[in-house]
Amino acid sequence: MITCRFATEADLPAVYLINRESNPHTWAEQHFQAALLNQNLYLAEYQNQITAFAVWQTVLDEAELHLIVCDRSFQKMGMASALIQDFVVQHQEVKRLFLEVRESNQAARNLYQKQGFYITGRRKNYYMFPIEDALIMEKSC
């Protein structure tokens, strides 16, 4: 069974490892520490092992998903879906969710579309390594 919860300081080494193995060009450790302090770092666990995490920022009744990463050995097991669904349940004040996704990341786009997100715009040359457009997606809650 997948469970979701807010991260604690003791969880940060596992988060760093999952992040580093997923994409070495993403966030630095201090970004995760700031997310932890602001209670914006959310985890998925399976059999008491941290398997995925998400970083959100909420302002009033809107939230933006900044990062969602799953340990490669747990991909396609519903971890990211569980994080999104649990976030919506736990944050009923949120009426709209936003995110950016690489245009070429079809797996992520499929996940988001299954969760009710739809494309609302594009950011030219938003991503580096390689340079690529981002699609802006939104979900009403």
**Which residues carry out catalysis?**
100, 112
Q: Using alpha carbons only, give the angle 16, 12, 74 rounded to the nearest 5 degrees.
A: 60
Output the six-digit token pair for 61.
């009744």
Instruction: Give backbone dihedrals phi and psi of 129, rounded to 5 degrees, phi first.
Output: 55, 60
3-state helix, strand, coil split of the chain in percent (to 5) is 35, 40, 25
Closest CA to 87 of 118, 52, 119, 137: 52
